[in-house]
Structure 1
């Protein structure tokens, strides 16, 4: 009888100990989830060359200095061109400004009114404003001051409005990509932040309207121009980054067109091999040669309002030649550690995320995600071989953009293969993506993280329900009790059998 009682007690203590161990571990890991004091918010305005985009991010307040917790809660596209075009067309300015204010109303609706005055707002202007600054610094300064004045009058906590350099944009994009993919830190045992096993980062390929950026990590001992040492969460990274102004998708397209006009026998009637056969349009000389990127290509007797007729040629081979003509590959002298225009670049290595204009080009070719170089090339040929009518039948893309995707595909192929030196093998490591975890891939997130000091130099441990020493003691006590009870039951079972 006594043996049965002791056996029952031992079984009870065994099960109770196991239950306590499981309960303590679960509480230790997950209790923090239920004690959140709420959300914090941040706003970033991406003032690009072709448009302005307003982003709102939120994150749990108690995790402000940790990673992997920020969500994109709003992305509002401002209709009309970028702020660098302010002052060129009064009617257009009014429509753009109205759309901008509409976005700001949406922003106010996304953030609780009680937190408006503590929510930081930032503005970053990119290549379009950099070009305007080169062309007319006074106008550039006036536009930036007007934007600053407006944001200071908003209910939010205005922090910064600046024209960021291309290299900064590239680095912020690299931070965004790797932050969203949890490549800097990830949740480890007991809900703590640890460095991921292997600590591999992903390269960043950004194609905007007026500039393009590449950024990726290199060996710690690498030397040369374009290298930046950054410390994130206690770890050092050597990042190569370079930005090519005037090589954004839109500016490069205008440069290709300017060179075609310049070399045409009839400069007022030009055949564009990248535009589909059957396509025709007219453009003013100002549209083609008014950019800071093409002013040196202006025709003799340049007349801004004069029209030039552009006809589609639908010739893939000639299109590739026309696109390559805007790159200077000769100055590299055949050196492998050089991209184009005489710019030093370490050999590409590892995985890359291609977004913005790179993504939209892959999207048009229906190659989002990953594809082989051969597949990209063959799909491009099929696309470029269609005439204007067939393209409109087969693709539900606005005509304004549809006409340019053959050019875009050739441009992407040229800059990635001939420029950055991706080959059949390394091309497989490129993924064309628009977002990660429902958050847009853009430099804006990295920009906000950096300016708001949300990337600490050292990793921090998430606050736990009990101190590590107490937790270890409790775990040891009940583990020991479990082992003792288990041994006791085994001995009891042996005695019972014999």
Structure 2
């Protein structure tokens, strides 16, 4: 047998050996991060309503903390959970439509892995102070309802005010990309920016939340949060009786006493065309009522007709006079040695009005935004609110295990390319050689057949 006949099988053998060598070359494990989406559910049981927030994020984390990329919500029909104190079972029943909605939004195979948490805020904190047995019954009924869902129930609790404000602080700084940012290549890198303080104007009180300068000055009521590989000491300073509702009441009290002789009381902070009958006892009552404002106090049942005049200059003057009269609630008196000093920082104000003004006036001019808002009628105004739920879930992702990445075998690019080229060349050469031998054999047979026919 000639060497030409032996060449094809030898080429095939060499090609096979090359393939085996490719498999035997030293390799290394190359982890591939999973891209599966995870979900989390947080129920914000606020004073006037409950909202279910559904968040989603990929399993990729930044220094052990998740990067939340999506959010949708389902408002629960009815009033806040504290209004069900006489019938706790109805409170749990009211959550069912939104829980069913969440089941349809989340893939069934991930229901058992989706954390579910309910946090009750201001009204439930108040109910717990005045009627703890009723608040405990409500939480128990909510717990039963949430445990019956297919999700991973984390608990239902009354959220302490410092924690609520701390989670608000986390959410604000997350949205502002103060923890990290995306570079021009789309990679997550440290932002290098400082953390913003948050002035949160609630219904009954106002809070200033900021990060403290040093760890050793964190007070007992402070909150320590581990986020994106760093520890943050967050402290909230409370200013009771300075929320929107309380300031509204104090403004009404002042205006009524100033304009008591008039048939209609003009309110510069209310929008045009808005009017309402107000009873004196609904304005001048409760723990935040200011006594001794005037010598001529109206009777409890006396009713006044309040009409909006929409005068931003007069409104700001009235509000300023109220704030100036409350020196005990100054957030920036650093002369006191026992008051923790926050970092020098920008302060972001959170309130329903501020959220609305950001949409109504796309400029950073707050004064212009105030004038724009105060010049609107009631039909032009909407309802917006800011929540703590995003900050809570970001903190929770620290405790959620990250999926183990899948592993691929890999070799150095240069070695892999060289062996691949050799393998391809040998296979191509073997194929061409075999094809050539087949063609030669067919030509030989054809020539023999031709000669046979010629002899005949």
Indicate conservation of the 8 Å contact 1:217/1:240, yes or no: yes
2:304 pairs with 1:320 = no
- Describe the shift of the 1:381–1:176 C-alpha distance in structure 2 as closer, same or farther (beyond 3 A): closer
Q: Give the structure 1 partner of residue 58 of structure 2.
A: 60
Q: Give the structure 1 partner of residue 352 of structure 2.
A: 357
Q: Deviations 1:457-495 (Å, cap 9, x if unpaired)?
A: xxx99958579xx88xx379899xxxxxxxxxxxxxxxx
Q: Which of these residues, 114, 117, 121, is aligned with residue 122 of structure 1? A: 117
TM-score (norm 1): 0.61
2:391 pairs with 1:446 = yes
CA distance in 2 between partners of 1:455 and 1:329 (Å): 48
SS of 1:281's equivalent in the other structure is: strand
2:381 pairs with 1:397 = yes
Indicate conservation of the 8 Å contact 2:239/2:329, yes or no: no
Indicate conservation of the 8 Å contact 2:199/2:349, yes or no: yes
2:215 pairs with 1:216 = no
Q: Give the structure 2 partner of residue 8 of structure 1.
A: none
Q: Give the structure 2 partner of residue 206 of structure 1.
A: 200
Q: Deviations 1:304-353 (Å, cap 9, x if unpaired)?
A: xx6442223444444224323543655359995359xx995746734444
- Describe the shift of the 1:213–1:53 C-alpha distance in structure 2 as closer, same or farther (beyond 3 A): farther
CA distance in 2 between partners of 1:101 and 1:77 (Å): 11
Indicate conservation of the 8 Å contact 1:260/1:322, yes or no: no
Pairwise CA distance, 1:163: 1.5
Larger Rg: 2
Indicate conservation of the 8 Å contact 2:65/2:395, yes or no: no
CA distance in 2 between partners of 1:331 and 1:343 (Å): 17
Does 158-167 or 176-185 show the bigger shift? 176-185
SS of 1:198's equivalent in the other structure is: coil
Q: Give the structure 2 partner of residue 111 of structure 1.
A: 106
Q: Aligned ranges for residues 23-422 of structure 1 at < 5 Å?
A: 31-32=32-33, 35-36=34-35, 38-61=36-59, 63=61, 66-86=64-84, 100-185=95-180, 196=190, 198=192, 200-220=194-214, 223=217, 228-261=223-256, 265=260, 270-276=265-271, 278-284=273-279, 287-288=282-283, 293-294=288-289, 302-303=300-301, 307-327=303-323, 331=327, 336-337=332-333, 344=339, 346=341, 349-363=344-358, 366-368=360-362, 371=364, 375-381=365-371, 384=374, 386=375, 391-392=376-377, 396-397=380-381
Indicate conservation of the 8 Å contact 1:192/1:461, yes or no: no
Pairwise CA distance, 1:76: 1.4
Indicate conservation of the 8 Å contact 1:123/1:162, yes or no: yes
SS of 1:327's equivalent in the other structure is: helix
Indicate conservation of the 8 Å contact 1:227/1:241, yes or no: yes
Indicate conservation of the 8 Å contact 1:218/1:239, yes or no: yes
SS of 2:149's equivalent in the other structure is: coil
Indicate conservation of the 8 Å contact 2:352/2:386, yes or no: no
CA distance in 1 between partners of 2:358 and 2:170 (Å): 24
Pairwise CA distance, 1:221: 7.0
Does 105-114 or 140-149 show the bigger shift? 140-149
SS of 2:139's equivalent in the other structure is: helix
CA distance in 1 between partners of 2:268 and 2:342 (Å): 32
- Describe the shift of the 1:119–1:266 C-alpha distance in structure 2 as closer, same or farther (beyond 3 A): farther
Pairwise CA distance, 1:227: 5.5
CA distance in 1 between partners of 2:133 and 2:211 (Å): 37
CA distance in 1 between partners of 2:123 and 2:159 (Å): 11
SS of 1:70's equivalent in the other structure is: strand
Figure out how many residues of one structure are paired with residues of the other and give that number: 386
CA distance in 2 between partners of 1:345 and 1:235 (Å): 20
CA distance in 2 between partners of 1:443 and 1:81 (Å): 19
Indicate conservation of the 8 Å contact 2:92/2:145, yes or no: no
CA distance in 2 between partners of 1:230 and 1:312 (Å): 44
**Larger strand fraction of residues:** 2
CA distance in 2 between partners of 1:229 and 1:50 (Å): 29
- Describe the shift of the 1:252–1:128 C-alpha distance in structure 2 as closer, same or farther (beyond 3 A): farther
Pairwise CA distance, 1:172: 0.9
SS of 1:302's equivalent in the other structure is: coil
CA distance in 2 between partners of 1:318 and 1:183 (Å): 37
Does 326-335 or 149-158 show the bigger shift? 326-335
SS of 2:157's equivalent in the other structure is: strand
- Describe the shift of the 1:347–1:332 C-alpha distance in structure 2 as closer, same or farther (beyond 3 A): farther
Indicate conservation of the 8 Å contact 2:268/2:310, yes or no: yes
